[in-house]
Structure 1
Amino acid sequence: MIKHYKPSGRYSVATIHNGVAYLCGHYASDLSKDIKGQTEEALDSIDKSLLEIGTDKSKMLSVMIHLKTMDDYAEMNSVYDNWVAKLPPARTCVVGEMFSNDCLIEVTVTAVV
């Protein structure tokens, strides 16, 4: 059975199947912030979504990070490294075009529920 958490229009905040949650991309609500601020907001949003579906970041299987530019890689990692558990999940970090020129990061997570 597939569960859709908070479906709206084009996507659901999470889709859960066979005990695995697939979260949609999370990004900062305040796009005027720098990469550190946007990373903190995106990761905080992920924490909240994971808790709402009954899990937490300690059960993450993978993280996909999209950056607007690799110039932000080190600063993003300074925030990410403090957020992620001692046993970090698999991770991919790529550069991609964002939905807004002001968006510097979008993060997607897969986690066990």
Structure 2
Amino acid sequence: MNIIRHEMGPRFSEMVVVDLGTARLLYLSGQVAENASLDLSGQARQVLKRIDELLAREGATREHVVSATIYLRTVGDYAAMNAIWDEWVPKGHSPARATVGAKLIDSEYRIEIQVVAAIGNVPAATP
């Protein structure tokens, strides 16, 4: 087993990859929008774009996402979030998902998304 950490900081890594030899598990940290002044839709799109970018580093796509946890500042944003989510998730590849109302670390953040993906044995990227 090999563990690869991407964008490692003192408290967390943006993504940790566990290489099991025949498959790899990708654990992404909770992602938030770079521009916290955007509305829920804008923030959600930024977050999902960032998730796509991180997955691509390991040769993965959104079709490989097996689990997602979505944190919303306001549960009233649930329908708007689902509209964006439904556009992003490929048909036939819905991951297990939980959505939670939560007080996020910055009061301007409206959404944070954490995902886990699984991919077959393809060469690992270097951080």
What TM-score comes out, normalization by structure 2 length? 0.86
Specify every segment of 5 or more residues in structure 2 that has no aligned partner in the other structure, as ranges.
Answer: 120-127
Counterpart in the other structure of 1:105: 111
Question: Whose radius of gyration is greater, 1 or 2?
Answer: 2
The code of the aligned residue for 1:49 comes to L
Q: CA deviation at 1:53?
A: 2.1
Q: CA deviation at 1:52?
A: 1.3
Deviations 1:53-89 (A, max 9, x none): 2211111111110000110000011111000111211
Percentage identity across aligned positions? 33
Secondary structure of 1:10's match? coil
Determine which of 72, 78, 81 is the counterpart of 1:76: 81
Counterpart in the other structure of 2:99: 93
Structure 2 matches for 1:21-36, cutoff 5 A?
21-36=26-41
User: CA-atom RMSD, angstroms?
Assistant: 0.9
Q: CA deviation at 1:22?
A: 0.4
Specify every segment of 5 or more residues in structure 1 that has no aligned partner in the other structure, as ranges.
Answer: none
What TM-score comes out, normalization by structure 1 length? 0.96
CA distance in 1, matches of 2:58, 2:114: 15
How many residues align? The count is: 113
CA distance in 2, matches of 1:92, 1:12: 22
